[in-house]
Amino acid sequence: QVQLQESGPGLVKPSQTLSLTCGVSGGSFRSGSYYWAWVRQPAGKGLEWIGHIYTTGKTDYNPSLTSRVSISVDTSDTQMSLRLSSVTAADTAVYFCARWYQSFYFHYMDVWGKGATVIVSS
């Protein structure tokens, strides 16, 4: 059974780069026909898709964040990274990684990490 776990600094200074890692157990980021996504949620608010990486390594990002975001998978295929540059207080949120299956008929995120809280503050 695939499980995901986010990790990274809980506090980032404004203008710096937020870096988070998502580790997978019970599987690999290169196996299956899945997208591996980052989703964030400011406190008390809704969910926002940040971007994803496919098993081939192809990435796609939310147009509102594309100039600041980068997602990659390491050579072990078990660690996915999120980098978000030039952060502001608006980037304060819980960050989730999730497995996303997408086809014309179905699209769902069926495996989620527990989430990592990131606060942007000096």
Partner 1 sequence: SSELTQDPAVSVALGQTVRLECQGDSLKTYSATWYQQKPGQAPLLVMFGKNQRPSGIPDRFSGSKSGITASLTITGAQAEDEAAYFCASPDNNPKHPVFGGGTQLTVL
Which residues lie near partner 1 (CB under 8 A)?
35, 37, 46-49, 52, 60, 62-63, 96, 98, 100, 102, 104-110, 112-115
Structure tokens at 36: 């591996």
Q: Which residues neighbour 58 within 8 Å (Cβ) at sequence distance 6 or greater?
A: none
Residue with tokens 């710096």: 16
Whichever of 76 and 108 has its CB closer to partner 1, that residue is 108
Using the 8-state DSSP alphabet, how is residue 57 labeled?
Answer: S
Whichever of 29 and 38 has its CB closer to partner 1, that residue is 38
As measured in angstroms, the least distance from the Cβ of 111 to partner 1 is 9
As measured in angstroms, the least distance from the Cβ of 44 to partner 1 is 10
As measured in angstroms, the least distance from the Cβ of 12 to partner 1 is 21
116: helix, coil or strand? strand
Whichever of 54 and 81 has its CB closer to partner 1, that residue is 54
Q: List the one residue out of 32, 116, 122 whose CA is nearest residue 82.
A: 116
